[in-house]
Structures are given as C-alpha cells and as structure tokens.
Structure 1
Amino acid sequence: MRNLLYLVISLCLLSACDVDRISETNLSDGSFWKSERDLKAATNYLYTFLPSLLITSDNWSDDGFGTAPHTISDGTRLAPATSGDYSTPYRIIRAASNIVEKASLAESAGVPAQIADIYVAEARFFRAWAYFQLVQKFGDVPLILGLLKEDSPELTAPRTPKEQVYEAIYADLDDAIAKLPTPTVRGVAGYGRITNTAALAFKARVALFEGTRSKFHQYGDPNKHLSLAVAAAKEVMESGEHQLFDNYFGLFQYDGEGRQNRENILVRQYGRNIADNISGYNCGTLINGATNATKALVDAYLMKDGLPIEISPLYTPPATFAETFIDRDERLNATIMKPGDPYFYSVPFVAPTLVYHTTAYCPRKFVDAHTVGTGVTFIDYPIIRYAEVLLTYAEALYELNGAISDADLNASINLLRDRANLPDLTNAFVQDNGLNMRNELRRERRVELAMEGFRYWDLIRWKTAETELPKAILGSYFFADEPGFSTASPKLTPDNYILLQAAANRMFDPEKDYLWPLPVNELALNPQLKQNPYWE
C-alpha cells in the first residue's frame, strides 16, 4: 500500500505532461499489483475524479447566474496558460491505462481473470469518460491509450482526429458494458461503483452529443452516432434495472439516497453522516450565490395544462413573487425556492436576498433545509440518472428519423411528464396547439435536468449557443413593495425585470467559441499541437 500511496501522490502533484513522462519502472510493480485489494485501491483513485455537486457550469449558459458575470457565458475569456480542463483528463487517462496494462500482473499473482476484468472495465469506463471531457471541449486531441516513457513519440504527436477518439471511447465503453456487473449484482455493497448500465447510459450520452453536434454543425456521420445513442438508451430501458423515483423533489434529498432509488445510475457518494463522512459538502454555497436560475429558465416551465406560458390560457403575469409558481410544472416548485419552502434550519423561505439570489430565483434542488446551516450535507449527487436516458432515447430517435411515435413518447418523455403531473406529449397535442416537437423535446430536457450542468453543452451541440448566449441575462420581475425586493436596488429593464447583464455586454463568436482554447503552455511543450481557430 505504501507504493500505491507514492503513486497517487505523484499523480496528484504533477501536471499531465510531467505525469506522462514518468517511467513505469519507478512504480514498484513487483511489490504492488499482487491482489484484488491492490486493483481495487488503484481503481478507487479514479472515483475521486467524479464530478462533484458544487459545480457552476450552468452559469456558462443562459440558465444560471452567480454573483457576477461568467467569462464563458458572456464570451470574454482568453486562452489560459494552464488549465485543469485539459490536464486533469490526461491524469485520469494515464491512471486508467496503468490499471488496464498492469492488471495482468495481478492475474499472474493469483487474482482470477473474471475479477481482474471488472477492475479493468471500470478503468476503461473512466478512460472513456476523460476522453469525452476532452473531445467535447477541444475537438481533436492527442489519443494516448498506452503508458508513455520519456522518449515516447506520442509526447510530441499532433492532435488525433476526433472521430478516432470517439471510436476509442466506444471501444472502451463496449468492453465495460460487456464485463461490468449489473446494478442488481453489485447490490447494496457495490452501490456507487460503475455498472454495465452506467456504461450504457454514458455511451448514450456521448453518442447523442456527437450525433446531434455533427448533424447541426454539418460534418461527419450523424446517423451513426444517433443510432448508437438509441440502441444504448433502449438497452438500459429494457434492462429492468432502473425506473423513475416517484418524487422529483425527493430525488435530490435524503429520500433519494442509496440503492433503493433506482433512478440513479451513477452517483458521487458523500457518506451518510459525520461518522461515515466520505466528503460531505456545504449546500449552503448553493443558496449563497453559487448559481441562480434565470428568467429564461423559469419561463421555459410549462403551465399545468401542458402549454407554454406564451399560449396557455392559464397564464397571467404574476402580481406577486409567489404567484410565479402557481399552476406551473411541479418541477419548477422543486427547483426554485418559493415563499413557505423550508429554507435554513427549516425556517420557511420568505423572500430572496438579492445580494446572493441575484436573479431572485434561489436554488431549492439539492438544498437540504435541515442541514444547510451546519456546513455539511451528505446527499448523493446523481451524475447519470434514468431520466436522462429517457430524454436521450426520445431526442436521438427524433433526430434520427425526423419523427417520434406516441408509443415511444409514452415509453420515455411521458413518464417524466406523468411524474410532474403534466398532460402527455403526443403528436396530436403538438399539432393541435401549433407546437414544434423538437422544441418540446428540448424543453423537457431543459426543465428535467435544470441546474444539473447540461444546458451549456446542449446549446453547443444544437448550434444554438450563437443565438441564446448573446441575449441579456434577466431575473425575476422586480416586486418593489415585497420583502427582499424593497431593500434592494438592482439594475432593471424598462419593463421592470432584474437585469444582470445586458446583451451589449455578451457575445458568442460561432467561428471560435464552439471549441475551447488549448492551454498556451501545452502548445509550447508540444509544437505539433495547433491552437483551435481564432484563439491565437
């Protein structure tokens, strides 16, 4: 175990380029890879890279705003000198590849091949995960599937075309799908570890992204990826392993903890209490300005008749802040704090504090009112959940065929709408109300996955970021006489909505901003790397 500790410390302290140059002969292989315990310890390191709850990537989009503008959202960022967005995935890749290559040593020491295969499959899942993070942001990236030495030619190789990177991602995921246990086999003891349905669901996510991105950006073979997305999502749906949790709000509270919640496919676990603390988080950060929903997101929620606010006869502009939530999709009530909701040590929420809740829409999702004041909360963070699989299935099927049947809507989208107490989405409903099926499928995705970090990447793949991101960021109507509003003096639009950032201060360059800039230091280390267009 001492040798593993040295390995982990080395991986944590060194940059990606330094890590890629460590000689494999320095890792004491002869004294480590001896048992399943060694394999598990090495694989556990990969789990430390799972996304954490307190992410603010919705602030990159038009759905979220913190206490100040975000440089990704408003188009003002510059190419960085260094970036964990580039280096951290390569740390994961190297650690995963190390397990893939060294597992044979454990087998030679007596670990059964079927046991070693599971840890290799977990490692290959994480390698696919890391490469997707890279290709999603940067496009073509160096593809390195083996371990490198100081003279390895890959260290100065040019970027690999992303289609080859996707092929490698799919190959790793297919291996993981074939060899990983099901959630049922994992059971309570294995809850939180990667399963075969997690690998399938992630494959569906990857394939939907690239299928729609290539379709709307007009390159490659969209149908190839969309077909993979449909097939992978359908396999999860037909596995019998997952179903929706019966309460949307409870899904993000302690009610949704653990194996009994079959909607969660992959979670980051934080423990159960102080005595069993993996890495509890402070959900108070969420209500202290880390992110707040925008007017654009709130307006996307349907009325309870299933119609958008623009055409529903049920909608009238709210005369008070509390009226914002009347007769709306129940997911709005579960996502945003309204007067009377348990808030701080369960004291009812009265009104937003605009210095923190800058849009007036304070988050409710993931906020446990009973522990928010203690500084530590342990609710599982869902990274992949079954709802996403249903949304992926419906969208990929529609984009593949240009249509979706009512039967497929019932097997996917309408399960989500039923939980939200909304009427079913049908082809007749769309036609009779002058709606657009694609727009309604996208709306369902937006509100179901709100504040979970999906919106920015959806705008990127749909090629609508150039339309949506340059728009002004607005908050609630300013109810000047109400608590929380009456003591604040934010900027307002002429029609009295809170103005967080004017359209004149926001931009998105479609020739540049659909890809992220490579870190400048990486370009200096490898002259064969070329910067993405217009980021020089």
Structure 2
Amino acid sequence: MREMKMKRNIYFIVLILAVVSSCKLDETPKATATADDIFGSENGLKTYSYSFYNMLPSGTDAYKLDAMADYGAVNNIDNFIREGAYSPETSSGWDMADWQALRNINHFIDNCTNPEVSETVRNNYIGIARFFRAYFYLNKVIRFGDVPWVDHALDYKEDDILYAERDSRTVVMDHVMEDLDFAYNNITETETDGTLITKWTALGLKTRAALFEASFRKYHTELNLMNTANTFYQYVVDAGKALMESGAYSLYTGQGIEKSQRELFISETPVTQEVMLAVALSKDQAVMGDANWWWTSATYGPRYSLVRPFINTILNLDGTPYTDKPNYNTQEFYEECQNRDYRLAQLIRTPGYERNGAASPPNFSGFSYTGYQAIKYTLDDPYYDNAATNTNALPLMRYAEILLNYAEARAELGQMTATDWQNTVGALRARAGVTGGLSTLPTQVDTYLKNTFFPDINDPIILEVRRERQVELALEGFRFNDLKRWKRGELMADLEWSGIYVPALDKLMDLDHNGTADVVFYDGSKDGPSITVPTGCAKVPIGGKETNYQTMTADKHLEWYKSQPRTWYADGRQYYYPIPANAIVKNKNLQQNPGW
C-alpha cells in the first residue's frame, strides 16, 4: 500500500523535501542531497515520485468530498452558499503551499535527465509527474477558471512569469491533455495494488478532465467556447474506449447485486477489479481513517443526510421511475424502500440493515435529519464510530466513473448506440439488480427528473445518463463539480432538503417494520409527544423554538433548515471561487473573477 511504501522510504523523502518542498516559487533549491542521490537511479526517482501522492485526498478526507452538495442536508451550511459570508478575504486554494506542490513536480521534470538511468525509466517517472501536474491544474481550473500555466521550476528572476496575468483556461486545458497523453504513453506500470498511478489512471483522469471541460464549454455559453466543446467530448470518447477495450478493469460483482457496489467502499484492500486508484489504510501501520466517526457522530460530523428529491430519482427494480407510482409522495419509509435499485440499500440505511446483528433503522437520535442516513463509507460494526479507527480502503477513481464519462460524452455528441448503453449505463444498473431497459436506449423523458433537476434538458438519453451518474457516484466527490459544469448551480440553493413522509405527529413510527417503534415526531411548541413513548424510541420536535430547524413540508415530509436560506447568486459568480485577496495584493496583474 502506498502509505506503507512511503513509510519505508521516509528517510529518503526527508532528503528530497529538504531539496525541493521548502522552496518558494522564486527560490533556488539548496541541495542537502546530491542530484545523483535523487535522479541517478530508478529507486531515487521512484522514492521522489511518492511525494506527489500527497496531492491526493487522504484517509481522513477522501470520504467527505461531497461535503457540500445539493443532495446533502447538513448541520452547518457552507459559507460559500451563504449570502455575503464568502469573499476574496476568506478564499483559499492560491496559497504558497498549493504552488509549492507544482514546483515540486516541475523541479523533478526539469532534473530527471541523468543518462545513467534509461530513457524508458526516466520517461515513466516523468509521466507520473505529468499526471500529477495535470491533476493539479484540473483542480485549479475547476476552482478558479483561468490560472497561470507554469511548466518549469521558476527562478527568482523570472518576474515576467511570477507576476504575470492568468492564462486562459483554453491554454491550460490543452496542456493538461498533453500531460495526460504523455503520461499514458510513457508510464509503464499497468497493474498495482490500487494505490499507485498507472497508464490506465492517466487515461481515466483524461476522461474526467476532458468531460469537465467539454460540458463547461457547452453549457457556459458566456465563454463563447461552444464550438470547441465537441473536441473535448471526443477526447473523453477516445480515452474511455481505449480503457474499456484494454480489459484492465471491469465492474465488480463478487458480492452479488445486493452488496457488490458497497463492498468497493468497505473492503480492507482496494478491489482492484474495479478500483483504479484508492487510499489504502492499515491498523498495523497506524494509518487509519475516521469515516465512521464523521458519518455517524452527532457532533464530530455534519449529520449528513441525503434528501428526498435525490432519493426519488433512484429507479424501481424493473427499471421504471419510482415517481411514476401515483402514491409515491405518501409512501412511508418502509414502502418507499421496497423493490428499488439495490444501490439504495447500499447507500442508506433501509429496512433490514443491521449493525452487529441488530436492526439499525435510520437514527433520529442526533444522527439524521431526513431519515436517509448514508452508509456508503461506514463499517457496520459500531466499534469504529467514535475514533479514527477505520481501515477500509477509499476509492478515488473507479471503472464505473469511466463508463459514465464515456456514456455522457457519447450522449452529448448524439452518438450513443444501444450497444454503448448496454455496456455502460445498462451494465451499472444490471450490477444493482435493475432488470428493465438495460439494452435499449431510453425514448421517454422522466418529467420528475427533468423538472426537479435539469429543466433545460429534453434529451431522454442525456437525462438518464445524468440520473445514473448521480446515483452510482453519490457521495464520491463529483456532485458539486457536475452542477458547475452543467450550469445547474441553482440546485445548491433551491433543492428542497426534505425527508421521509410523516403521516401525522404524535404517532409511533416503526421504520423497518420489525415490531419496535423507532421515532415519534411531535409539535415542537409543546413539551413533548402527547402519547406514551417506549424506551429507545427517538422523540423529534417539529418546529417550535427558534433554534429548531426541523420542520415539515406542506405535504408532510420532514424538512431541514428551511429558515436558513442558501444562496446562488444570479450573476453566476459561484461557478468560480474568488482569487484570494492577498494573492492580488502581491500580483497586481491578477484580475479578480467576476462578481467577487
């Protein structure tokens, strides 16, 4: 595993960091290890390359990448979507530490020239470095739009670059594609334990980066780049096809339709049949995460609760929309969970879910606001709930994502065939137990999906690909960026944070129908329920005192934070983060993003 390999080489990494990581953009590195120590052997290059992996999400944040998303109700609204709460003075992502990571990569590329190491070996590690440079710049473009492109370790005298204007995203993203092509063509590694970069992860990142750029250019018409969007969609298709035809990965089905997808997130080691890149953890190496603690704590985590409009988009097992049922809006929790795509039961606590053999319905005693309590990253033993004890590997890139990237690009290009559908969306749905519509292209628009999420989309194929993406990749860190590239940021403010149906107050509710009352909701202006409540049954006030944000919709569904407005500015400024004010003070040539 990557963490353990890095521990074994920690002394050498310390030498490297003394050479490069403390350097600012305008400093000349002062060597405490000779160039031959680092660049004169394959082992030196390999060990240096481990420092790049620090750019990836760690074991303590890889499971909370969707912390801010339209479909997640939380206990504290992010300042980015609070009116007037976010500004250039509070922005981040342009700090010296961010750019030091780029300098570390460029320093390696500049100096990886020793002829004592074969060109093939050198190019392999340069390919890994260029993968990470592409990864770095993709994240910067997603966050800020235009950014300065720097392809070498800057000398302190290079004021023309140090204090230059930002380069256009078109320039930067062309370089990202070049870096990823070089990485794919030169990285020699094709199989690992799932924690290291291979030529296939380079292809995978290319599909991710090109899809973001293609759709951003298509739907953000104000950029006047629509005529170049299809070029990037084609990059997705070509890279995705090469990866699919390689046979290097396939969808994991080893646990059956009821458990296979979730197994990818709770397995002790990366399931390399499908997982292309992961953070691996180990109790023996004292490298552990705290996913359970974050997802199940009433105080440490955000009490993240999925919302009903999103849950409503998860299909029935026969492939029909759940919202086609005439009574879908008045079904209680138990009924709404029956005969649904098995990803529902692998995503949230549904009737039948157990922890250590005990029935564990949604927990309203300080854990869930909506009743849709996520389990995707959490281990089922409560032992893991109260400290950093998780050892489950955390996927960062999966083959499922590649299938969805490919499917979306084909759909946007108007080229989706029945075979494409069957091999991508159909395959993912089949893995989840869905039986209908696996090999035929959709021809009918789902009005609920369209009206709730994507009112400007009339193509049923594009709509269904988007449905599949939000269900398959839920909580994996894609959602906010997807909304930005589709120009649907309004959902961050407008999507109702509603939950399960509550037919009446002061009524005992047995959520999983096991004969035990789980929760009762009551008028929060009263002292408590007007009925006798058995021990162990949660009592949840609705409305009442000013500090209680748990209310009810007009159609009797739980609703959270209704009185706390979320804001998406009409001028669209939140499609980018502001350049931090201190960066503009240092470089007068930096222009602030519009609206900030």
- 1:95-129 deviations in Å (ceiling 9; x for gaps): 1111111222xx34x33332222221111101100
Residues 81, 36 of structure 1: alpha-carbon distance in 2 compared, 3 angstrom cutoff: farther
Aligned to 2:540: 488
For the pair 1:197 / 2:200, whether they are aligned, the reply is yes
In structure 2, the partner of 1:58 is 66
> 1:429 & 1:399 partners in 2: Cα distance?
14
Gap change, CA 1:197 and 1:217, over 3 Å in 2: same
Task: Return the offset for 1:472.
Answer: 3.3
Aligned letter for 1:502?
Answer: K
Q: Would the alpha carbon gap of residues 350 and 42 (structure 1) be closer, same or farther in structure 2, given more than 3 Å must change?
A: same
- Secondary structure at the aligned position of 2:261 is classed as coil
Residue 172 (structure 1) shift = 0.8
1:465 aligns with: 489
Distance (Å, rounded) in 2 between the aligned partners of 1:380 and 1:285: 16
User: Which residue is equivalent to 2:120?
Assistant: 114
Aligned partners of 2:147 and 2:167 also within 8 Å: yes
Residue in structure 2 matched with residue 46 of structure 1 by the alignment: 52
Establish whether residue 391 from structure 1 lines up as the match of residue 393 from structure 2.
no
Shift of 1:50: 1.0
How big is the alpha-carbon RMSD for the aligned residues of Structure 1 and Structure 2? 2.6
Tell me how far 1:67 sits from its aligned partner. Answer: 1.7
- Alignment-mate amino acid for residue 131 of structure 1: Y
In structure 2, the residue matched to 1:506 is 566
Deviation at 1:251, TM superposition (A): 1.8
Q: What does the per-residue CA deviation read over 1:38-88, in whole Å, with 9 as the maximum and x for residues that have no partner?
A: 222221111122123535342422111222222234555422436553335
Residue 156 (structure 1) shift: 0.4
Contact 1:322 1:339 in 2 (8 A): yes
* Cα offsets for 1:107-159 (capped at 9, x unmatched): 34x33332222221111101100000000110000111110122222110110
Deviation at 1:476, TM superposition (A): 2.6
Instruction: For 1:83 and 1:432, locate their aligned partners in 2 and report how far apart those are by CA, in whole Å.
Output: 40
Partners of 2:407 and 2:425 within 8 A in 1: yes
Correspondence list, 1:56-455, <5 A = 56-74=64-82, 76-81=84-89, 83-87=91-95, 88-104=97-113, 107-108=114-115, 110-153=116-159, 154-183=161-190, 186-188=191-193, 191-218=194-221, 219-220=224-225, 221-246=228-253, 247-254=260-267, 257-258=269-270, 261-271=272-282, 274-288=283-297, 289-290=301-302, 291-312=304-325, 315=328, 317-319=330-332, 321-343=333-355, 345=356, 347-353=358-364, 355-370=366-381, 371-373=383-385, 375=387, 376-401=389-414, 403-422=415-434, 423-425=436-438, 429-431=442-444, 436-455=460-479
Unmatched tracts of structure 2, length 5 or more: 1-9, 254-259, 448-458, 510-517, 522-538, 542-549
- Asked if structure 2 preserves the Cα contact closer than 8 Å seen for 1:417 and 1:424, the reply is no
DSSP 3-state at the match of 1:505: coil
In 1, distance between residues paired with 2:90 and 2:32? 27
Residues 510/131 of structure 1: CA separation in 2 closer, same or farther (3 Å cut): farther
Which of 574, 582, 586 aligns to 1:521? It is: 582
Equivalent pair of 1:337/1:361 in contact (CA under 8 Å) = yes
Secondary structure at 2:554's aligned position in 1?
A: coil
How far apart, CA to CA, are the structure 1 residues paired with 2:247 and 2:440? 27
Larger Rg: 2
The question of whether the paired residues in 2 share the 8 Å contact of 1:471 and 1:503 is answered with: no
The TM-score with structure 1 as length reference comes to 0.89
How far did residue 4 of structure 1 move?
4.3
Deviates more, 1:126-135 or 1:67-76: 67-76
Instruction: Please list the CA deviations of residues 460-506 of structure 1 after superposition, one character each: whole Å capped at 9, or x if unmatched.
Output: 11111125533332233346523244411222222222222338712
CA separation in 2, counterparts of 1:121 and 1:59? 32
Q: 1:187 to 1:58 in 2, by over 3 A?
A: closer
Moved more, 443-452 or 471-480: 471-480
Using structure 2 for the length normalisation, give the TM-score: 0.81
Task: Describe the shift of the 1:504–1:328 C-alpha distance in structure 2 as closer, same or farther (beyond 3 A).
Answer: same
Say whether the 8 Å CA contact 2:66–2:480 is kept in structure 1. Answer: yes
Q: Quick one: structure 1 residues 355 and 36, their matched pair in 2 at CA, closer, same or farther if it must change by over 3 Å?
A: same
Shift in CA distance, 484/96, structure 1 to aligned 2, threshold 3 Å: farther
Shift of 1:515: 1.2
Where 1:383 maps in the other structure, the secondary structure is: strand
Partner of 2:451: none
Structure of greater relative contact order (alpha carbons < 8 Å, 6+ residues apart): 1
Secondary structure of 1:58 counterpart: coil
